[in-house]
Amino acid sequence: MPPTRNYIDGEWTDSESGDTFETVDPAAPDDVVATYQESTAADARAAVTAAADAAAEWASTPAPDRGAILKAAGDVLADRKAELTAQLTREEGKTHAEAGGEVQRAIDIFHYYAQKTRDLGGTVKSSSGGRTNLYTREEPVGVAALITPWNYPIAIPAWKIAPALAAGNTAAIKPASLAPGPAVSIVDALDDAGVPEGVVNLVTGPGSTVGNALIGHDRVDAVSFTGSSAVGGTVYDLATDDGKRVQTEMGGKNPTIVTESADVEAAADIVAAGAFGVTGQACTAGSRAIVYEEVYDEFVDAIVDRAQAIDVGPGDEYGMGPQVSADELQSTLEYIDVGVEEGARLAVGGEALDGGRFGDGYFVAPTVFGDVAPDHRIAREEIFGPVLAVLEVGGFDEAIQVANDVDYGLSASILTRNHTEANRFVEEIEAGVAKINEKTTGLELHVPFGGFKGSSSETWREQGDAGLEFYTIEKTVYENF
């Protein structure tokens, strides 16, 4: 299979380096999925130059015409859904159902923002003087550099690319090297849909080279990043030092509070879905269950049963797939060791899975720790694997204090029949997403998404109208007639 190429100024091109890198199936690491360009800073600069040169013409294209291209791209993705689902499962490791859901989300995002282009424009205000039209215009920011992660390799590129293009910006995107294929497929769909040359550009390769070159380029006006908190802080500093508009969405240590009034069996189902879905590799994964003492023992027994019932194996056949890489698996196993060393009780799981259907894949058993203290590292640090820490509390006040006493604030949930508890939770939780009687994962595409504290730069939200706001700037017009 020939290497996948970069997409710059409407052409599929090789990197100037001549070097390539491979991705592998995390369920079977000897299986090479695809080969990509090991790009250089020069390739990144070429992508930005193409985007900048195309910016004025794309910005002047009527918004509904831009929307028509987005709609056509969404239709292409829909026609290729089965192929894209298989690609995502092989390269990232999600189960077939999870991958299919993510591909559908990307399709829906393109169709959503295609329609939103008809709402772009501005507002009309009444002037305090006569014979004056007073109104605003929404205009594109310019060139957007988009840096996306491997854990949602088609949905996150979609929710950055679609609003950027809808608002009239041009873009240069660098997908994560562990799973760049789905982002390449999005760009291929846009190419087939007739996107003009230079409007969208894609460069694969290392973040330290390609990503930094994109962020630091003086013709880039806005930077959108999703990834780890450590890298996100560096991205934010680099972008803001140059005066660029920037949004960063990063990690989470997301709690689910299980109250005395909750149905324990239903609560175990909800917490298990949030903790072990997508192999725990989601920034919104529910990695902490904060449980009232009255139902603590019953809940631990129930969640252990749920973990034991999960059928782990290759994503095309089983209910929980592998971790994405050997490094991610090793990191999870190290955190499991930390939990044991700190004195938490390993209730179930905790081991790598190999042999038989697991082969040499990056599999780990769904893991539950009981008797976790709030100061344990497994209760405070993002693990990014299928590991749940269960903490016992005496009631609501202690639960909310424990929930908030971490450096993150992305998604949080409470399971309760008590209306007062539910409303106090919404008021007092320090999180960008607050859910009542739902898992911490799962997002609607038409409402804002983002976190508090170390989960986000707290500058701009993504998705829905908020996604368009990041990519537009307002001009106020006074027309005296």
Please tell me whether residue 201 adopts helix, strand or coil conformation: strand
Please tell me whether residue 10 adopts helix, strand or coil conformation: coil
303: left (phi over 0), alpha (psi -120 to 50) or beta: alpha
Positive/negative CA dihedral, 229, 233, 238, 241: positive
Give strand ranges (E) for 229-323.
Answer: 245-249, 254-258, 286-292
Contact 42, 217 (CB under 8 A): no
Residues 237 and 223: their CA atoms lie apart, in Å, by 11
Residues 244 and 164: their CA atoms lie apart, in Å, by 15
To the nearest 10 degrees (0 to 180), the angle between helices 81-92 and 63-79 is: 70
The per-residue b/e assignment along 48-67, b for 16 or more CB within 10 angstroms, e otherwise, is bbbbbebbeebbebebeebb
Catalytic residues: 283
Contact 141, 171 (CB under 8 A): no
Please tell me whether residue 257 adopts helix, strand or coil conformation: strand
Written as six digits, the tokens of 96 are 């077939």
Count of C-beta atoms within a 10 Å radius of residue 98: 23
Q: Which residues face 134 on adjacent strands?
A: 125, 478
Contact 92, 181 (CB under 8 A): no
